[in-house]
Amino acid sequence: MAQFKSKILTVFLVMLFPVLMFAADWPQFRGLNRDGISPETGLLEQWQPDGPKLIWSTEILGSGFSSPSIANGRVFVTGEIDGEETVFAFDLSGKELWKTTYGPMWKGSYPAVRTTPTVDGSNLYVISGMGNIACMDVQSGQIKWQVQAVDRFKGEYDRWGISESALIVDDIVIVTPGGPDASLVGLNKQTGATVWTSKGLSDKASYCSPVLVERGNKKIVVTMLENHFVGVDAKTGKVYWSDAFSEYQDDAKSINPVSPIVHNGMIYTTSGYDDGGAMYELSADGTSVTRKWTDATLDVHIGGAVLIDGIIYGSNWENNRNGNWVALDWQTGTTRYEHKWITKGAIIAADGKLYCYEEKDGNFGLVNAIPEKFDLISSFEITKGSKQHWAHPAISDGRLYVRHGEALMVYDIKAQ
């Protein structure tokens, strides 16, 4: 009887509040699990020569390299208005619902907005290029609280400003200001009050957005700082491990912009500029790691990587203009292919396909996720927007979201 009542209640809620029920949200940087993979199926197997159908677009976002987030029937993306970093909210038809500024934009090298909104329930979190963290109401855009984290924790700006996207773990917002005894900090997500700092860890921040690992009944925040790969307790900030890149990189350039990939107690890290990558194995209790192998082929610059069926896919760095597309074996680090397709770029995946967005000319490719070869099925060129094609795409509810500078384009990729 209780189960029957529960089912009736669920049906009633779905009918009464359909806007709350979305099975394929992309609520933060690189998707639900920050791994660049959408669980959606039933997507187009190939595209027309001019690409999938454009549903809607906008060209009002201003400068930005950030990605869109899609949650609860809304699209959120950061941009710039008159030098101020701004969150824009749209409905699924492209109607602007609100916009809210939250701090001055980074005006140093490559001035543009970087942070992707993190949506958590009724709240949305962003981090400005100057280190201002803001929590907003997703319905109205009203700012609930703000914290200037670089100032509060005595962090330092590097050459390209702050580029991370906030991570939420339970009731805590985790960011990396890179201050003394505060490489990482945890803030109360409702108030912005400091919950913990990573005492004993004073490495500067890089450009990496942290990820969550659950191991041995622990929740562990994993990220790359300027000089170390680290893991800290998400609840207390206790530092579990810190592995120096200098131990396996000949000339570490320390930008480290790629979020680690986590799978079955293993963690993969990679960074561009010939820094290469490394695979780590977590201990059973999650408090230590062992470096299992390193690789010099897949040194991902800024476009991320994905893991599908035991193969890591991404693009490497030859120089700032050039790079190849690579498949790497998860267990051994063995290169399965290295292929020249225009140049390097961003990558996500869904329904057995890779979605590759090269950064030079804005060609967008649909590629079979197979380790034998770079099997390009279809491609088209992104023509709206300006400046570098550096934003990572997103997939939600059969739609492909592509941001290029001031433009956001939404394509129908659902199979008919």
pLDDT score for 15: 37
Q: List the structure tokens of 189.
A: 């997500």
Q: Are 222 and 198 in contact (CB under 8 A)?
A: no
Percentage of residues in the chain with pLDDT exceeding 90?
90
Gap between the Cα atoms of 117 and 115, Å rounded = 6
User: How many C-beta atoms surround the C-beta of residue 381 within 10 A?
Assistant: 11
Domains of the chain with bracketed CATH:
35-412 (2.130.10.10)
pLDDT band for 416, please (50, 70, 90 cuts). confident
pLDDT score for 265: 96
Inform me whether the pLDDT recorded for 17 exceeds 50: no
DSSP helix/strand/coil, 15? helix
Q: List the structure tokens of 180.
A: 């003394």
Gap between the Cα atoms of 297 and 322, Å rounded = 14
pLDDT band for 50, please (50, 70, 90 cuts). very high
Inform me whether the pLDDT recorded for 409 exceeds 70: yes
Mean pLDDT, the chain, rounded, equals 93
Inform me whether the pLDDT recorded for 123 exceeds 80: yes
Gap between the Cα atoms of 254 and 273, Å rounded = 9
pLDDT score for 8: 40
Q: Are 221 and 184 in contact (CB under 8 A)?
A: yes
User: How many C-beta atoms surround the C-beta of residue 270 within 10 A?
Assistant: 28
pLDDT (average), residues 146-151: 96
Q: Are 121 and 131 in contact (CB under 8 A)?
A: no
Q: 191-195, 204-208, 248-252, 286-290: which has the minimum mean pLDDT?
A: 248-252
DSSP helix/strand/coil, 312? strand
pLDDT band for 18, please (50, 70, 90 cuts). very low
pLDDT band for 249, please (50, 70, 90 cuts). confident
Q: Are 254 and 226 in contact (CB under 8 A)?
A: yes
pLDDT (average), residues 324-342: 98
Inform me whether the pLDDT recorded for 241 exceeds 50: yes
Calculate the alpha carbon distances from 154 to 58, 125, 183, 197, 205 in Å: 38, 21, 10, 12, 12
pLDDT band for 24, please (50, 70, 90 cuts). confident
pLDDT band for 197, please (50, 70, 90 cuts). very high
pLDDT score for 175: 97
pLDDT score for 287: 97
pLDDT (average), residues 129-156: 96
**Region label for 362, one of left (φ > 0), alpha (ψ between -120 and 50) or beta (otherwise):** left
Q: 90-99, 246-255, 329-338, 402-411: which has the minimum mean pLDDT?
A: 246-255
Q: 81-90, 251-260, 355-364: which has the minimum mean pLDDT?
A: 251-260
pLDDT band for 252, please (50, 70, 90 cuts). low
Inform me whether the pLDDT recorded for 254 exceeds 60: yes
Inform me whether the pLDDT recorded for 3 exceeds 70: no
pLDDT (average), residues 396-405: 98
Inform me whether the pLDDT recorded for 5 exceeds 50: no
pLDDT band for 248, please (50, 70, 90 cuts). confident
Distance of CA 267 to the CA centre of its chain: 16
Gap between the Cα atoms of 193 and 146, Å rounded = 10
pLDDT score for 250: 76
Residues ≥6 apart with Cβ < 8 Å to 225: 176, 178, 183, 201, 203, 204, 205, 206, 208, 256
Of 394, 383, 297, residue with least CA distance to 338: 297
Percentage of residues in the chain with pLDDT exceeding 70?
94
pLDDT score for 253: 62
pLDDT band for 22, please (50, 70, 90 cuts). very low
Q: By CB neighbour count within 10 A (0-12 exposed, 13-18 middle, 19+ buried), where does 41 fall?
A: exposed
DSSP helix/strand/coil, 208? coil
